[in-house]
Chain A
Amino acid sequence: MDSKRRGRRGFLKGGAAVAGLAVGAIGTAGARPAAPDANSDQRLKDLIAYGERSHYVTSIRKPMVGEPSPDQFGLTRHILTPLQDSVGNITPSSLFFIGDHRGVFFPDIDPKEHRLLIHGMVDRPLEFTMEELRRFPSVSRVHFVECLGNHSKPEYKTVQETHGLTSCAEWTGVPLSLLLKECGVQSGASWVVAEGAEEVKGAGSIRLAKAMDDCLVAYGQNGEPLRPQQGFPLRLIVPGFEGIYNTKWLRRIKVVDRYYMTYNDYGHITKEPKVAALVFQWGPKSVITFPSGGQQLAGPGFYQISGLAWSGGGAVRKVEVSTDGGQTWKDAEIRGTAHPMAHIRFGMDWKWNGEECVLQSRCTDELGQGQPTRAELAKFFNVSLEYYKTHRLPGTDNTIQPWKVASDGSVHNAI
């Protein structure tokens, strides 16, 4: 029942092609892209069968800075969403970030062959086909996914580099609680192990209380089946939790009575209680996507500061923006309906006077949790702020991201 997968050699070729494409895109930046031949087969396919975006739109994902990509094994581990180009709240499936247990190495799963097995401490172990899963009552919910590795560093230049390991989509599927109730969870059960069908069978444990609360066994993303990169045909959505728990290519859920110390799990244990308390669930977080690092303002005048806010604890209630390095804050406008554990666009009118300034945003969620500065987090962990210039922040990094606008209109990472 193991899934088929692409050959490694095929992948290497593919990787080289992608790398070549990226270089090509940079090389031609600014030049007018060639219009496709109006009568070509590809053009007609785009026009009729499955539409492509305009050839004038060139926003693309890219690998994480500092990770050779492809690496010595031809693998690309983390692919970043171009948040600087985003509008609205939903990340297009083609630009959704990718994080993976071991490189971007997608199993090629025939949905007719795929099964989800639920067993362990249940009264009735059950195995479902994809067709059967689609017969259950479905729900569609908007949720962000964010990798634990989404840490801003001083050497990162753009918001794609500092924050590109988060994206947001509408997910469609069956509530995990519904499937677990069908199986009858036994007394004494307290955790579930979720496992994928890819080559490493990536697995991790989450508390049963979370599994029964709001997790989703998802087969749809943004109105169509999941992309292979996002776990086609089935993935777990664990709203607000670290990305790694959103198990892709989901094939098995085992109900157990303890943290199972399987594949992913030992990486999430720590002897430091403060760090342990900040894993699993993301805190409130926000970032300005315009103006952000690497962008260029045309000159003094009116602009719209725009960004995204989200929280692993619930819906965003308030976003504030400072244009003076954090001395004063003003409420930003929430642009749309803030869903629980979902990106929400915020915006604020701003007239730039041409002087150097530092822009930043902070958000508060419906639980009253606020977004800390890096200095506040350093104080919480009893280390100096300098320490975090060279060391990774422990746990999930939800600190405030400052951008400096220089007097020439260029924008820079100011952490």
Chain B
Amino acid sequence: MRYRLFLPVMILGVFGTGWAQSPTYDLGKTPTAQEIHAWDIAIGPEGKELPPGHGTAKEGAQIFAQKCGFCHGPTGAGNGGSAPTLIKNEGKPVMTGASNGPGPLMATYSPYATTIWDYINRGMPFGQEGSLKPDEVYALTAFLLYKGGVIQEDDVMGQQSLPKVKMPNRDGWAHLPEYKHGAPRIFTNSPEH
């Protein structure tokens, strides 16, 4: 009896993916490769979605002063407003977005340089999101990485080189919680009553 119960699970494990696979409703259309490509802006750590292009910190510094300085200060050191400081500033690095309030600089906090590219590309500059060309995003990413002491000023960031950047915080992150229906969290204050 016990073996019979496990048999379907074993078959799925060997032959399948674990999820039901056949289309039932036949709704929706198949997007073209171009349509998917145009929307595929979530850049994973391997950088598979990165477009062609390149840029250096020197180029990035100029673009930064033009397009980012208004909110972040001309060098990224902040301007006293609500936009985060992006480079080390008198020993007080600040970058919002970390889960515990003011945290480390994004450029050195994220384990992958691709995150910086993703963030700038989809979210900056404020009010003109999506307007930066790939070369500009590479240059700005290089600028922040250089200012964060991660790469050299002349290093060229591009489709191939960016995912290879070894970030200072690459390792040592805590495992994110698994999800299982009905499983409690680790901190469960089970009252004895």
Contacts and interface: CB of A to CB of B under 8 A. Distances in A.
Contact of A127 (B28, B43, B98, B175): B28
Interface stretch (A14-22, A276-284, A405-413): A276-284
Contacts of B7: none
Interface string B167-192: 00000111111111111111111110
A263 B106 CA distance: 11
A132 interface: yes
Contact of A283 (B25, B115, B185): B185
Given A263-B119, A369-B185, A370-B191, A195 B42 contact: yes
Given A102-B123, A200-B123, A313 B21 contact: no
Interface stretch (B32-40, B137-145, B149-157): B32-40
A271 B172 contact: yes
Interface in A87-145: 101-102, 117, 119, 123-129, 132, 135-136
Contacts, number: 216
Given A187-B17, A368-B190, A392-B101, A273 B175 contact: yes
A213 interface: yes
A385 interface: no
Contacts of B106: 266
Contact of A262 (B18, B35, B42, B174): B42
Interface string B21-60: 1111101111100011011111111000000000000000
B48 to A, nearest CB: 10
Given A119-B31, A273-B174, A369-B185, A260 B44 contact: yes
Interface in A193-222: 193, 195, 199-201, 203, 207, 209-210, 212-214
A180 B18 CA distance: 13
Contacts of A279: 99, 176-177
A261 interface: yes
A324 to B, nearest CB: 15
A362 B193 CA distance: 12
Interface in B1-29: 16-25, 27-29
A369 B187 CA distance: 9
B27 A182 contact: yes
Interface stretch (A36-44, A156-164, A227-235, A248-256): A248-256
B100 interface: yes
Secondary structure type dominating chain B contacts: loop
A212 B186 CA distance: 22
B99 A277 contact: no
Contacts of A73: 82, 126
B178 A207 contact: yes
A214 B180 CA distance: 11
Contact of B190 (A261, A369, A392): A369
Contacts of B122: 200-201, 203, 263
B162 to A, nearest CB: 13
A314 interface: yes
A174 to B, nearest CB: 10
Contacts of A185: 17, 19, 21
A258 B176 CA distance: 11
A377 B185 CA distance: 14
Contacts of A182: 23-25, 27-28
Interface of B: 16-25, 27-31, 35-36, 38-45, 81-82, 97-101, 106, 109-112, 114-115, 118-119, 122-123, 126-127, 129-130, 172-191, 193
